[in-house]
Amino acid sequence: MITVTKKDLVELGYGKYFAADIIKRAKNLMIDKGHTYYESKKLDRVPREAVEEILGINFTELCSND
């Protein structure tokens, strides 16, 4: 599973607060899907697919190294 962090999103051009909000929303999405592992406050990685679902984009279109 490929994961995304706030730092990864900032490197793609998102602001640090918006990136943090995206990670928080992705964690909530994963919790809603039944993955209680993402309830941890210290966890800062989420699956790439969750971020793609929230933003409505595909990272492979943005990143040439994927």
Q: What is the pLDDT of residue 62?
A: 56
Sort 51 into a burial class: Cβ within 10 Å, 0-12 / 13-18 / 19+: buried
Report the amino acid identity of residue 22.
I
Give per-residue pLDDT as tens, 28-45.
999 999 999 999 999 999
Domain extent, residue 27, equals 3-57
Whether 44 maps to a domain, the answer reads yes
Whether 36 maps to a domain, the answer reads yes
Give per-residue pLDDT as tens, 2-61.
999 999 999 999 999 999 999 999 999 999 999 999 999 999 999 999 999 999 988 775
Q: What is the pLDDT of residue 59?
A: 76
State the total domains in the chain.
1
pLDDT-based confidence at residue 64 (cuts at 50, 70, 90): very low
Distances (CA, A) of 63 to 10, 12, 13, 25, 60: 13, 9, 12, 22, 5
Whether 43 maps to a domain, the answer reads yes
- Residue 5 φ/ψ, nearest 5 degrees: -115, 170
